[in-house]
């Protein structure tokens, strides 16, 4: 936690190497989130890189308070939403793109059959529900932060979460 605060402080003081530290530390989490939202390897990389380009461009204007990981994951979610909007929502349809992001060899983890089933089930959810589920469970963001990010009420976000979970349970054949 102290390392993240140090990165924020150094970045705010103009240390561009701190940006590299942020990238090295949070890249995998950001890529995983972007892939879950976009289902497009190249698009996920573009989203993560766009976040860092924007950070660099507004280095002296930006003020990061709180959890750096949550800030970066929220930025990725917002960027993914913008990318989908720019593409006319073509990516958000429930048609898998086929291309999957592959982690670097040192990051490779053998995915279990259950993880693959979950990934396929997540792809079948409407984008808004998938985004809320991923931000809440993976990103560990509070409903209030997700609501602010999506420009929706907390009740709407909680509903998306609840309906998304129900659909996931149904798709995975789980009993409540």
pLDDT in the model for residue 48: 94
Lowest mean pLDDT among 59-68, 91-100, 118-127, 167-176: 91-100
Instruction: Please say if the pLDDT value at position 71 is more than 60.
Output: yes
40: left (phi > 0), else alpha (psi -120 to 50), else beta? beta
CB-based contact 4:68 (threshold 8 Å) = yes
* Phi, psi for residue 67 in degrees, rounded to 5: -80, 120
Q: What is the pLDDT of residue 158?
A: 95
Q: What is the pTM of this model?
A: 0.68
Which tens digits make up the pLDDT trace of 83-141? 888 876 444 444 445 455 455 544 444 344 666 777 788 888 998 999 899 888 877 78
What percent of the chain lies above the pLDDT cut of 90? 25
* DSSP code, position 111: P
């Amino acid at each position: 936690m102290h390392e993240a605060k140090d990165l924020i402080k150094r970045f705010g003081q103009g240390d561009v190497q701190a940006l590299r530290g942020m990238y090295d530390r949070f890249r995998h989490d950001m890529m995983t989130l972007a892939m879950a939202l976009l289902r497009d390897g190249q698009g996920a990389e573009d989203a993560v890189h766009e976040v860092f380009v924007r950070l660099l461009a507004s280095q002296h204007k930006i003020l990061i308070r709180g959890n750096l990981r949550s800030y970066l994951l929220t930025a990725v979610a917002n960027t993914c939403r913008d990318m989908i909007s720019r593409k006319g929502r073509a990516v958000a349809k429930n048609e898998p793109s086929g291309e999957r992001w592959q982690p670097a060899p040192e990051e490779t983890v053998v995915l279990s059959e259950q993880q693959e089933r979950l990934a396929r089930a997540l792809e079948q959810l409407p984008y808004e529900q998938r985004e809320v589920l991923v931000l809440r469970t993976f990103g560990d963001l509070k409903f209030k932060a997700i609501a602010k990010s999506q420009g929706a009420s907390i009740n709407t976000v909680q509903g998306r979460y609840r309906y998304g979970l129900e659909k996931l349970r149904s798709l995975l054949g789980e009993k409540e």
